[in-house]
């Protein structure tokens, strides 16, 4: 499926805030969280609804509620920065966890944790990770979710490199890919350019 870049003035503005190298941890986290919430609002526009009968103070009325469970799946660590913003929009969402880190030499993803709700297979899944660089982490995470039976999988990232988008589309042509920005390239160290640096470290103050 095609990658969708969510081109919104507020998203662009907040993305500029996190790209600035002087942005401090607390503001960095705040802006990542807000962008994730705005992205969730756009992505969920056409989520399936079911009709339900309710009593308003005035009458009986047929209204709508979400028809499917939603599960947010942050790829640890940096994906955690997107969870609160999306939960703000979809408070009933369940949270699953996938722990992966990139080996600094090979850039290959290494799996170290997974915890899924029992009924994840029937859920609409939002895999969240701010950075789509080589695509290795996203591909490995989606492999794990498909092995658990998931069919409706959406990847939600902030900044993507063209090579990562290509790799992810080739490995998983059936998923939706949403980004806040498709950046220029990946550099020789595996960092997205212009990018925003090491997202995990900037979110959690570890450097
Ligand atoms: C970062 C990022 C992605 C991954 C992207 O995580 O959050 O998970 O790199 O790179 P890829 O597309 O080349 O796989 P990192 O491995 O730095 O771990 P962290 O989130 O724990 O800092
Ligand atoms: N992971 C990051 O945190 N930043 C990048 O630019 C690439 C991968």
Per residue in 64-73, pLDDT (tens digit) is 999 999 999 9
For residue 202, give the ligand 2 atom closest to its CA. Answer: 3
* 198 CB-near residues (< 8 Å, 6+ apart): 191, 207
As a whole number of angstroms, the distance between CA 143 and CA 55 comes to 44
Q: Judge contact between 155 and 2, C-beta under 8 A.
A: no
Q: Quick one: average pLDDT of 148-169?
A: 98
Alpha-carbon gap, residue 168 to 181, rounded angstroms = 16
Taking the CA of 102 as reference, the closest ligand is 1
Reported confidence tier of residue 41, pLDDT bands at 50, 70, 90: very high
Q: How confident is the model at residue 91 (pLDDT cuts 50, 70, 90)?
A: very high
pLDDT at 149: 98
> How far apart are the CA of 1 and the centre of ligand 2, in A?
24
Q: What is the mean pLDDT of residues 65-87?
A: 98
Distance 82 CA to ligand 1 centre (A): 14
pLDDT in tens, 99-145: 998 888 898 999 999 999 999 999 999 999 999 999 999 999 999 99
**pLDDT the model gives residue 207:** 82
Please give the model's pTM, rounded to 2 decimal places.
0.96
Alpha-carbon span 168 to 184, nearest angstrom: 17
- According to the model, what pLDDT value does residue 2 have? 79
* 128 within ligand 1 shell (Cβ under 6 A): no
Long-range interactions of 193-200: CB distance < 8 A, separation 24+: 193/161, 194/19, 195/19, 195/131, 195/159, 196/18, 196/19, 196/130, 196/158, 196/159, 197/21, 199/32, 199/78, 199/81, 199/130, 199/131, 199/158, 200/77, 200/78
């Amino acid at each position: 499926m095609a990658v969708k870049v969510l081109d919104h003035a507020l998203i662009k503005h907040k993305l500029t805030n996190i790209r600035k190298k002087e942005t401090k941890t607390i503001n960095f986290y705040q802006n990542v969280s807000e962008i994730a919430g705005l992205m969730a609002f756009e992505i969920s526009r056409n989520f399936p609804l079911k009709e339900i009968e309710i009593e308003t103070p005035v009458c009986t009325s047929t209204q709508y509620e979400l028809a499917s469970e939603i599960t947010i799946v942050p790829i640890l660590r940096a994906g955690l920065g997107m969870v609160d913003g999306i939960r703000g929009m979809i408070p009933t969402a369940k949270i699953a966890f996938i722990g992966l880190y990139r080996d600094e030499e090979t850039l290959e993803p290494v799996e170290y944790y997974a915890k899924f709700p029992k009924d994840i297979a029937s859920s609409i899944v939002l895999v969240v990770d701010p950075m789509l660089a080589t695509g290795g982490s996203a591909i490995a995470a989606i492999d794990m979710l498909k092995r658990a039976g998931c069919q409706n999988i959406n990847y939600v990232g902030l900044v993507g490199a063209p090579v990562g988008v290509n790799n992810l589309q080739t490995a998983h042509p059936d998923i939706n890919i949403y980004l806040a920005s498709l950046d220029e390239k990946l550099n020789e160290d595996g960092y997205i350019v212009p990018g925003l640096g090491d997202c995990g470290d900037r979110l959690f103050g570890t450097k």
